[in-house]
Amino acid sequence: MENILSMLIFFPAAAATVGFLIEKDSMRQYGVVVTVVEFVLSLLLWYYFDTNATGMQFVQMLPLIDSYGIHYIVGVDGVSLFLIIMITFMTMIALIGLTETKDVKNLIITMLYLEMTMVGVFASLDLIMFYIFWELTLIPMFYIIGFWGAEKRFYAAIKFFLYTFTGSLIMLIGILYFGYIYHETTGVWSFSLLDWYNVVLPFDLQLWLFIAFFFGFAVKVPMFPFHTWLPLAHSQAPTIGSIILAAVLLKMETYGFIRFSLPLFPDASVFFVGFMATLGLIAIIYTAMVAYAQEDMKQMIAYSSISHMGVITLGVFALNVEGISGAVYLMIGHGIVSGALFMSVGVLYDRRKTKMIKEFGGLAQNMPMFALVYAVVLFASVGLPLTIGFIGEFLSLLGFFKYSPILTFIASLTIVLSVVYMLAMYKRTFFGKLVKQENKDMKDIHGRELFALGSLVVLIVALGIYPKVILDPLNTSVTQLTKVMEIKAVNEDTKEKLRALNSIGEVK
């Protein structure tokens, strides 16, 4: 099992390369089989994962450019483990529910290459390798939006690429400078995160490096005011592109804050809590109101995603076990729920070739199963108890409550706002009279559509009722993270704040 992470990373790419030899008519089945095997591998990773261990597991290292300390290093802990499982699961479900018909063979090959890069991001422990996988995710997603998207697909793809690539370049400067600092401190080169944990930086350097990493992560979350590329990308991307973009790619950035910014720059993280909270609050309130004004379903869900990512940001910068664990759980929950929402819009678009809410109405009469599935997903999106959305939001806000009860109250408004615009959209789509003949002819979900969406609904309810299966190993890793932050902090005030924020202890 020592090579299982490398297998998870490179198996989809190897399968994608073999896919060029597969007949077009067999490509759908081939793609599903490959993603099923990848998902099974991720479950094996979970099976052999020691939930009581605090450090990285399944660590594998191979030298690449040894003279400059650049190595292929991979490993997982409780934080990255479940995000990798989510990647493999959502990619599998996306291919099972695939509705696109244009050049399906190349689309599936592109998706498999994208899966390789996404798993690589969450498994990399060398910062140069992390950056390489991080940037490689842009290529297949750019291709998916630009080739299979809607009428403004080229503009959306270019805007997506320019925004995210520019922010990543600033982060690369920070990575290279940290490597230089490590060399000046120890006399050797290394870009290993495990080595960097041993370096304590002065406060001023932490501030500048935090800012450099911030631009790389904030653009991709995306945080206000860098968010304008996301609604356009979602509206123009094909359904499968929107599913992966919302479910996985947006989580890379908040994961980056947890994996790198918090433990490497603890003093700066405490210093910027107010600033990050402000950006999170703006995202929660502003984009929720913009979502309410949308007539395009995809645009509404896209702005809703930004609003929920604001809650995740608050959880991350609560800087305690409750908040960070809640943020990771919400990342997983939002990945499943947003993927289901975009897949549901894809079901409607596949039948009517429109995403405009005003074009529907009364669909519950001839699509009762779809109406039920959509209702469960919608309730999870607004954080209804006993759904996966509630657990993550509750823990994130609970953690942030220890920093500021007033700001937490304001942030909780996102639940009220999301209920308003989601229920309004559901009412206009599924209730009322079934007037238009095109809607009367629409058939209910069945077959692979029902299996894909039904699988997501089962997870939404199961993980809403029994979150312990994820929270236990997640809690162990997050507790260790907060201890690392306290040890690496150079200011006594920072240490005291971190102790105060973590006074309650573990999430049960």
Amino acid at 282: I
Distance of alpha carbon 77 from alpha carbon 420, whole angstroms: 38
Give whole-number Cα distances, 276 to 359, 392, 413, in Å: 39, 19, 18
Q: Give residue 163's pLDDT.
A: 85
User: What gap in Å lies between CA 256 and CA 262, rounded to an integer?
Assistant: 9
**CA-CA distance, 432 to 129, in Å (whole number)?**
54
Question: Percentage of the chain surpassing pLDDT 90?
Answer: 55
Burial of 55 (0-12, 13-18, 19+ CB in 10 A): exposed
Parent domain of 155: 4-501
**CB neighbours of residue 30 within 10 Å:** 20
Residue at 375 is within a domain: yes
Q: How far apart are CA 26 and CA 474, in angstroms?
A: 39
Residue-level pLDDT at 54: 83
pLDDT digits (tens, 9 = 90+) for 359-376: 888 899 999 999 999 999
pLDDT score, position 506: 43
**CA–CA dist 150, 145 (Å, integer):** 8
Q: Which of 149-163, 221-235, 285-299 has the lowest mean pLDDT?
A: 221-235
Q: How would residue 284 be classed by pLDDT, with cut points 50, 70 and 90?
A: confident
Residue 134: pLDDT band (50, 70, 90) is very high
Average pLDDT, the chain: 89
Q: Residues with Cβ < 8 Å from 221, sequence gap 6 or more?
A: 227, 250, 253, 254, 309, 313
HSE-up of residue 131 (Cα within 13 Å, Cβ side): 20
DSSP 89: H
Asked if the structure places residue 506 within a domain, the reply is: no
Residue 413 confidence (pLDDT): 74
> What mean pLDDT is predicted for residues 145-172?
87
Cα(197)–Cα(485) distance, integer angstroms: 10
Residue 508 is assigned to a structural domain of this protein:
no
Please, are residues 120 and 9 in contact by the beta-carbon 8 Å criterion?
A: yes
- Supply the pLDDT for residue 505: 44
pLDDT band for position 25 (cuts 50, 70, 90)? confident
DSSP 3-state assignment of 382? Answer: coil
507 falls within a domain = no
Tens-digit pLDDT profile for residues 100-112: 778 889 999 999 9
Please name the residue ranges forming H helices in 272-296.
273-292
- In-domain check, residue 348: yes
Tell me, what's the pLDDT at 220?
Answer: 73
Mean pLDDT score, 115-120: 95
- Residue 322, pLDDT score: 92
Q: State mean pLDDT over 388-409.
A: 91
CB contact at 8 A, 178 and 237: no
265 within a domain of the structure (yes/no) = yes
Q: For residues 375-385, give the mean pLDDT.
A: 91
Q: Quote the tokens at residue 446.
A: 């069945």
Exposed (0-12), middle (13-18) or buried (19+): which is 390, by Cβ within 10 Å?
A: buried
**pLDDT of 237 over the 90 cut:** no
Nearest to 361 by CA among 256, 443, 436: 436
Q: What is the pLDDT of residue 508?
A: 39
pTM of the model: 0.93
Q: Residue 500: pLDDT band by 50, 70, 90 thresholds?
A: confident
Q: Are 117 and 140 a contacting pair, CB within 8 Å?
A: yes
Give the count of domains, the chain: 1
136-155: average pLDDT: 89
pLDDT at residue 296 is higher than 90: no
- 340 contacts 296 by C-beta, under 8 angstroms: no
